[in-house]
Amino acid sequence: MYHIFHGKHRLILANDEDEIKIDNPDFIIPNSEEEHIKKTLTLANENSNETTILLLGNPIKLMKKVQKVFHLITAAGGLVLNPKNELLFIKRLGKWDLPKGKLEPGEDIKTCAIREVMEETGAKNISLIHGLPNTFHTYYQNEQSIIKQTHWYRMNGNQEQSFVPQIEEGIEEVKWMDINNLSLNDLDTYPAIRFIIDAYLNTLN
């Protein structure tokens, strides 16, 4: 199953068995082809309310069809926690986000994740612990429709250090937040960020 965040809307690529795990989608589209995916995006864009659209089929094949509609960009980032169980956030363009960035040519994905965390926050001595689910989100840039696949990793960091926000990337602030007292619904962030934090928290239960 794949969750794709398209603005405030969510596209879920799933097979028939996964359908029962999804609560009350707004639309269900079986046997989705590329033209159905394009119509689905138009349907979402025309809806002012948050919309969940379920595309049924083989999720891997569906994702390949989605990637024909968009230009794929690969990125990586980290959920960095310190010994006090605080999560490292950045504020970019007025919203709280997690450090992440694009994969460079010839770079492996784990190296990318650590590099981006360190570059965007100025953090030192970051260690990678394990992988987390990927997220997918779409946007429009330079007259091109883009889908970004972000590979996430759980990381450790030391809270006793100074941060240097990467201003050239639009980062205004770097801050630890107590994950035990974090209200995802009240946090001014993106749906994909809520999704990956919630996915991590579910691994603790």
Question: For residues 49, 55, 56 and 61, what is the CA-based torsion angle, rounded to 10 degrees?
Answer: -160
Q: 């007292």: which residue's tokens?
A: 181
CA end-to-end distance (rounded Å), the chain: 21
Residue 20 pLDDT class (50, 70, 90 cuts): low
pTM of the model: 0.90
Any idea what the Cα angle at residue 48 is, between residues 42 and 52, rounded to 5°?
65
Query: What is the predicted pLDDT for the residue at 27?
Result: 82
- Three-state secondary structure call for residue 171: strand
Q: Mean of the pLDDT values across residues 129-138?
A: 94
Strand pairing class (135-141; 2-6): parallel
| CATH number for the segment(s) 75-203 | 3.90.79.10
Encode pLDDT of 56-87 as tens digits: 888 898 888 888 888 999 999 999 999 999 99
Residue-range domain boundaries for the chain: 2-69, 75-203
Encode pLDDT of 88-104 as tens digits: 999 999 999 999 999 99
Q: Mean of the pLDDT values across residues 139-168?
A: 90
